[in-house]
Amino acid sequence: MNILFVVPYTPNLIRTRPYNLIRALSQRGHAITLFTLYTNEQEKADLAQLGQELKHVVALPLSRWRSLWNSLGQLPGAEPLQSAYCWQPALAQQLTDLVAYAQNGRFSFDIIHVEHLRGVRYGLALRQALGTAVPLVWDSVDCISHLFRQASQQSSSLFGRVVTRLELPRTQAYEQQMAAQFDHLLLTSPADREALLNLLPADHATDHISVLPNGVDLDYFRPAAGSKRAPATIVISGKMSYHANITMVRHFVGQIMPHVWAQRPEVQLQIVGKDPDRQIQELASHSVITVTGTVPDIRPYLQQATVAVAPLTYGAGIQNKVLEAMACATPVVTTPTVAAALTAVANRDFLIAQEPAGFAQRLLGLLDNPAQQRQLGQAGRRYVESHHNWQAIAAQLEAIYQQTISHRYTNPLLTA
């Protein structure tokens, strides 16, 4: 197939979903044209490397100031700020120019794939230019209003709660409207699909809304051969400027780890991820806490840790941090919020706890039991091998494309 991918941020090892889907589809013989944005020289370099595997890449810069200006300009309107954040008129113009050129018979796309709520505006521009001539697939990834509903109540940041309360009604209305603009919709988890369906009329058909899970690069994330794990070391990872991760870290350090340190004061905590906010950086003043900031490679931290934790109190979609730890055969302790998006079996593939004291007891028991550490780590690795292989997920996406092209799953709202 000849596929046009529109991604409103750089597909790379941080934006792992579009990065791996694009690469896997290319490896399966599809011709990929990528339209995307970059914000710094590293992202530009990432795109140059990715472009070696693709048919064509068009990438334009998007400054932080431009994104902030876009969002501020959206305040008086009805659309969510998210929808404006990654808007770059020059990229939209190049997109519409390309499809106009294609319509003149030079070539054609079989399908167009638009990533995230932040990319929807580009999809709408393409819909206006093309009509229904080429099917459009929207990978929403998460149901953003589902995330904002939780964040508006549980975020540890007052600013975060205020912004998400402002965004919530806008995002709910916008997601409902966008469900009528694309031929097929994708989400990463059943919970996100259900949340999106709850925004739609009760009699609305659902065949055109699919779950496509996240995967993990099983060759890249794997146990370190021959190396020993550090004693009594807990790792918590993620983008540390993201509101759900900030809340997670503060909850873990403030509510869970005191129970652990009361019995095992030597236990080390490593907080690994880019752009930690000031409050997270200040945690490094404790002798048993390391805050790394950006690291060139997260794998050594996962591979040497005794246990990885993902104590999210709210979230949406599948947590890549959990898949990556499991791929490294690192035992994982997480919350029901995270577990709900996975088909893994609790107490076999990972451990689950909700309340701080119970979470701490899970950790203490695991820290004292090397045999259980190995058992959980090996089971977690087997789970991601079976359920989160990017090549298998790309094959699922390929089938969705083919069904969409054949109109088997045509969105009924497009023809109403």
CATH number assigned to the domain comprising residue 27: 3.40.50.2000
Q: What is the DSSP-derived secondary structure letter of residue 240? A: T
Q: State whether 77 and 193 are in the same domain.
A: yes
- For residue 183, being part of any structural domain is answered with yes
Q: State whether 306 and 246 are in the same domain.
A: yes
Per-residue burial over 15-41, b = 16 or more CB atoms within 10 Å of its CB, e = otherwise = bbbbbbbbbbbbeeebbbbbbbbbbee
pTM (predicted TM-score): 0.91
Structural contact between residues 322 and 389, judged by C-beta atoms closer than 8 angstroms: no
Give the pLDDT of residue 412: 56
Structural contact between residues 416 and 366, judged by C-beta atoms closer than 8 angstroms: no
Alpha-helix runs per DSSP H in 3-133 = 16-27, 41-51, 64-74, 81-85, 89-103, 120-130
Give the pLDDT of residue 251: 95
State the residue for tokens 């945690």: 283
> How confident is the model over 181-236, as pLDDT tens digits?
999 999 999 999 999 999 988 777 788 999 999 999 999 999 998 778 988 999 99
Q: State whether 403 and 310 are in the same domain.
A: no
- For residue 220, being part of any structural domain is answered with no
Give the pLDDT of residue 256: 98
Q: State whether 193 and 282 are in the same domain.
A: no
Give the pLDDT of residue 100: 81
CA 148 and chain centroid, separation: 15
> How confident is the model over 299-355, as pLDDT tens digits?
999 999 999 999 999 888 889 999 999 999 999 999 999 998 999 999 999 999 999
Q: State whether 210 and 316 are in the same domain.
A: no
> How confident is the model over 351-364, as pLDDT tens digits?
999 999 999 999 99
Q: State whether 239 and 208 are in the same domain.
A: no
- For residue 262, being part of any structural domain is answered with yes
Q: State whether 60 and 209 are in the same domain.
A: yes
Structural contact between residues 18 and 38, judged by C-beta atoms closer than 8 angstroms: no
Task: Calculate the dihedral angle through the C-alpha atoms of 60, 66, 68, 72, rounding to the nearest 10 degrees.
Answer: -120
Q: State whether 165 and 202 are in the same domain.
A: yes
Query: Going residue by residue through the chain (416 aa), what tens digit of pLDDT does each one get?
Result: 999 999 999 999 889 999 999 999 999 999 999 999 999 999 999 999 999 999 999 999 999 888 988 888 888 888 899 899 999 999 999 999 988 887 776 678 999 999 999 999 999 999 998 888 899 999 999 999 998 998 888 888 778 888 889 899 999 999 999 988 999 999 999 999 999 999 988 777 788 999 999 999 999 999 998 778 988 999 999 999 988 999 999 999 999 999 999 999 999 999 999 999 999 999 999 999 999 999 999 999 999 999 999 999 988 888 999 999 999 999 999 999 999 899 999 999 999 999 999 999 999 999 999 999 999 999 999 999 999 999 999 999 999 999 999 875 556 556 54
Residue ranges making up the domain that contains 141: 2-215+390-415
- For residue 199, being part of any structural domain is answered with yes
Q: State whether 179 and 308 are in the same domain.
A: no
Please give the structure tokens belonging to residue 389.
């292989």
Q: State whether 58 and 88 are in the same domain.
A: yes
- For residue 225, being part of any structural domain is answered with no
- For residue 222, being part of any structural domain is answered with no
- For residue 23, being part of any structural domain is answered with yes
Q: State whether 155 and 255 are in the same domain.
A: no
Q: Angle CA(221)–CA(223)–CA(226) in degrees, nearest 5?
A: 145
Give the pLDDT of residue 180: 86
Q: How many domains does the chain have?
A: 2
Q: State whether 146 and 166 are in the same domain.
A: yes
What's the rounded Cα separation, in Å, for the pair 245 and 324?
16
Burial of 380 (0-12, 13-18, 19+ CB in 10 A): buried
- For residue 94, being part of any structural domain is answered with yes
